[in-house]
């Protein structure tokens, strides 16, 4: 089993091991949205079929914090290669479906490879639910603005 500390150390080695670009998908909210009044709001990708998985509540918020520590370790390394960041979304699984992180990774990969019906890729400008909402890097508040990455969402 790979622990968070193991992952962080391994990823730091990977971003320093080469000079070719690295596409990095992290299954965690990497951008956040706020209303015109400055209140947290969901992003367009977080609502489907009457269900909601907003970034600022529950597990989304927890993995966002973990991702911030992971990205900080990468930034502090510093990388010897370009790191292209993508957000992965595998929420909205059918009721009763057990979690399988390996399957989640394979489903996100199917989207990237362009398999019909596997899911969607959302550009940053598609993330606001309302044109008055602002979407920014989840890490800008801590002084590490990595920009708003595209989101890869699996249909499962």
Dump pLDDT digits (tens) for 107-146. Answer: 888 888 888 888 899 999 999 999 999 999 999 998 889 9
Res. 35: pLDDT tops 90: yes
What pLDDT score does 134 carry?
Answer: 97
Mean pLDDT calculated for residue range 22-26? 93
Residue 7 confidence (pLDDT): 95
pLDDT digits over 56-112, tens only?
Answer: 988 888 999 999 999 999 999 999 999 999 999 887 667 777 777 888 888 888 888
Mean pLDDT across the chain, nearest whole number? 91
Cβ atoms within 10 Å, residue 128: 19
pLDDT band at residue 17 using 50, 70 and 90 as cut-offs: very high
pLDDT at 16: 97
C-alpha neighbours within 13 Å on the C-beta side of residue 109: 6
Instruction: Annotate 17-44 with b (16+ C-beta within 10 A) or e (fewer).
Output: eeeeebebbbbbbbbbbbeeeeeebbbb
Global pTM reads: 0.87
Q: Note the helical H segments in 39-128.
A: 58-76, 101-112
Distance, CA of 40 to chain centre: 17
């Amino acid at each position: 089993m790979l622990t968070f500390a193991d992952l962080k150390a391994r990823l730091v080695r990977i971003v320093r091991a080469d000079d070719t670009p690295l596409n990095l998908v992290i299954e965690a909210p990497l951008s956040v949205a706020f209303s015109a009044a400055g209140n947290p709001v969901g992003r367009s990708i977080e609502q489907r079929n009457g269900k909601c998985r907003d970034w600022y509540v529950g597990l989304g918020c927890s993995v966002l914090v973990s991702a911030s520590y992971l990205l900080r370790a990468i930034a502090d390394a510093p990388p010897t290669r370009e790191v292209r960041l993508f957000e992965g979304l595998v929420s909205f699984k059918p009721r009763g479906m057990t979690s399988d992180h390996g399957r989640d990774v394979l489903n996100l990969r199917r989207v990237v490879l362009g398999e019909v019906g596997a899911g969607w890729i959302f550009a940053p400008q598609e993330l606001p639910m309302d044109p008055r909402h602002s979407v920014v890097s989840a890490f800008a508040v801590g002084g590490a603005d990595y920009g708003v990455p595209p989101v890869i969402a699996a249909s499962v």
